[in-house]
Structure 1
Amino acid sequence: MVNPAATTTSARTRDVLIHALASDLKLDVVTTEYRGHARDVARAAAETGEVRLVLALGGDGTVNEVVNGLLHHGPDPDALPGLAVVPGGSTNVFARALGLPNDPVEATGALLDALRTGSERTVGLGLASGTPGTADEGAPERWFTFCAGLGFDAGVVGRVEQQRARGKRSTHALYVRQLVRQLMSEPRRQGTITLARPGADPVRGLVATFVCNTAPWSYLGNKPLYAAPKASFDTALDVLGLSRLGPGAAARYGTQLLVSSPQRGPHGKHAVSLHDQTSFTLESQAPLPFQVDGDHLGLRTSVSFTGVRRALRVIV
C-alpha cells in the first residue's frame, strides 16, 4: 500500500523502496487514490484469506487506514493479521514507537532484515466507538494505533487539517502555530468532559483528554513527547486528562511535555493520569472535536474506548 502524497518520500524514492522490497517479497503494489482507499484495499486483502502481510508505505494516517481495513471484522486471536510499515509521513509515531528508523530507506533495510529472520511482535490497539444510548451511538468504530483525543488536542488536529486543505504542508511548525491559535481562541473555557469507567468514581470537569496506546505520545522533530509514559503496546490504554488549560496551565503543561521522559510526563493537581484501562467512556456536555491517530473525525458528545491487548501482528 503506497501513499503517493507521503510527505517525506519522492516518487523516485518510493520506486527504489518498492524495488528493494520486491527482491525479497512477492508484492502486489497498490497506490492509494482517495481518503479511505488504503482501508478498502486492506479489508479486501484480509477477506481473501490469502494475503499473509500488508505493507504500508506512508504516514500515520495511511497506517491507520490499513489497520482499520485489516480489522474490519475484528481480530482473530488464532490468526492475527500481519502488518509491516515503512514510514513516509511527517511524524510517523507508530513506526518510531515500534523502534523502526524514521528514515524510509533505513526502515526498509530493517524491515527486510526482520522478514529474513522472522522477527515480529504482537501489539495491542485501541478501539473507539459511539456510546450506546447517546446521540453518537451509530458512529462507526475506529481502531487506533497510538493515540486518540476528545477536546483540545483534537481541535488542534482539526485546525491543521483545515490548513492542509488550503495547501499548507504538514510540518511540526504548522502544528505548533495551530496549537497556539487553539489556545488563544478559548483560553478560559471550563472543562465539560467526564471520564467514566466501571467500578470507579467518574472524573469530571476535564477540558482535554489524551488517550495513549503507546509511549511516546508524539514527536516534535526528533524530540519524543510523553503524555503517558507508562503506555505500551503490551497493555491496554492510558489516559491523561487536564481540568485546566488557560494560558498559565498551558505554559506549565506544555513545558512539562517538552521535558517529559519515559519516567515522567505532565503532572499536577489539575492533571489526572490513568494506566492500563481496558474500558472507559468520555462524555461531554457539548459537542467537542474528536481525533484518532491525528485524523479529525468531527464533533462528538460521547466516545467509548476499549483497549485490546492482542490485535495485530507487526514485522519489526
Structure 2
Amino acid sequence: MRITLIANPSATGTSEQRIDRVRAELADTIDTEVFVTASRDEAVARARDATQHRHDAVVVIGGDGTVNAALNGMLGENIDADPADLPALGIIPGGHANVFAHALGLPREVPQAASLIRESLTTRQSHTVGLGRANDRWFALNAGLGIDAEVISSVEDLRQRGLPVSPAVYLAGLAKSWVQAHRWSSPMHIRVASSNGAVHDLRDMVFVIVQNTAPWTMLGDLPLHASARASLLAGLDVVAMESLSAATMVRILGSVLTGGGIAGDSGDAESSRPSSARPPRPPKPPKPEAIVLHDISRIHITAQKPVPVQIDGDLWRPCTELTLVGHPHAVRVLAPAPLGLDPGGHG
C-alpha cells in the first residue's frame, strides 16, 4: 500500500511540526511519500504523479486550496474517470476554513484524522462523492462570480498589508468590495439545465454561487450557507441575486450570520451530511432577493465585461463566459462511515 502525502507549508494551520506528526502517524504502517510543496502547480503535479503510479491514496495536509490542487492533479482532463482507478483522497485539515473537511465530518486533530485515514486504507473503505467542473478546473466546494470572488481579492489585499486572517478581516473585505461594486460588477445571463431536463434562463444577475456541497464557507467555527441543501450526492445548486443594494446586503448578511443562508433554506443543514438523529426540517422559502435552483447538471454564464471568479476559495481569472458541469460519483474520499455517502471500496 502506497500513498502520496502533499503538505502546503503556507496554509494557515500547517506547520513543520504538524507535517512531522502526520508522517509519524502514517509512515510506520504505510509506504508514504511526503512532498512539501512550494506552489499550487507543484501540488497538482504530485497528485498527478500519484495517480499515474496508481498509489492507493493522495493525502493532503492543508486547506481547501490544497485539496482543490490535489483533485485537479488526480482527475486532470479525464472527465470520465472511474473513481476506482483513481487514488482515494484523504485530508488532514490544515487551512484557515477547511470547508470540505467540515462537509465530510473529518476530525481536526492530527491523531484522529491520521487514524481515520489509516483505518480506511487498511479496511479498504471509502465513499464516492460528486464534484463540479468550471471550464477546465475541478471544484469540490463552489464557484462564485461577483462579490463572492471580489471579497477574496480584498482579503488578500488586506493580508498583504499585514493583517492576519480573521472574521473581522473578511467583514472588512466585504465592505470594501461592496463600496467598489461599480468597478467590478457586470450583469450576467445564466442558463441552467437541471438534472430532470428543465431549462431556466436568469437575466441581469449581479452575483452567483454554484455549490457542490454545504456549507458555502466558514467564518471561524460558524458555517455560512448560501444554499444549505447543496449535497455531495446530488447535482449542483445555484444561488443568484439581481441586487446588491444596501437593504439587500443588510438582510442577506443578517440571514447568513444567523444560520439562515442566502437562500433562506437553513433547514437541517450544518453540512451536506444527512442526519440520522432526526428528520430534516422543511426548507424555508428563498429570500426575495435570491433565486435558488437545486440539483443542476449544467450552468452557462455570460457577462458583458469580465467579472471576478473564485473556485474553492482561490481567485481565478476574471471572465465573460464560464460553463460549470456537475459530475456525480467523481472521486473517492476517506471519510467517516456515518456520513451516509455512497460506499466505494479500493479494490
Regarding TM over 0.5, the answer is yes
CA contact (8 A) 1:188 1:246 kept: no
CA contact (8 A) 1:148 1:210 kept: yes
1:273 paired to 2:268: no
Aligned to 2:96: 90
Name whichever of 276-285 and 71-80 sits farther off.
71-80
2:150 & 2:284 partners in 1: Cα distance? 21
* Number of matched pairs: 304
Distance 1:190 1:94, change over 3 A: closer
2:166 & 2:74 partners in 1: Cα distance? 29
1:200-237 CA-partner distances (Å, limit 9, x unpaired):
24111111111110011111111111211111111110
Q: CA deviation at 1:34?
A: 2.0
CA contact (8 A) 2:13 2:96 kept: yes
Unaligned runs of 5+ residues in structure 2 are: 1-5, 261-265, 270-280, 336-347
Aligned to 1:7: 12
Q: CA deviation at 1:101?
A: 1.8
1:258 & 1:266 partners in 2: Cα distance? 17
**Percent identity at matched positions?**
36
2:75 partner letter: L
Unaligned runs of 5+ residues in structure 1 are: 130-140
CA contact (8 A) 1:256 1:266 kept: no
Distance 1:234 1:54, change over 3 A: same
Q: CA deviation at 1:117?
A: 3.6
1:85 & 1:245 partners in 2: Cα distance? 36
Aligned to 1:65: 69
CA contact (8 A) 2:184 2:308 kept: no
Distance 1:287 1:192, change over 3 A: same
1:15 partner letter: D
Aligned to 1:212: 211
Q: CA deviation at 1:148?
A: 0.6
1:282 paired to 2:301: yes
1:66 partner letter: A
1:122 paired to 2:117: no
3-state SS, counterpart of residue 40 of structure 1: helix
CA contact (8 A) 1:282 1:302 kept: yes
1:27 & 1:211 partners in 2: Cα distance? 35
Q: Normalization by structure 1: what TM-score?
A: 0.90
3-state SS, counterpart of residue 286 of structure 1: strand
3-state SS, counterpart of residue 30 of structure 1: strand
Aligned to 2:318: 299
CA RMSD of aligned residues (A): 2.1
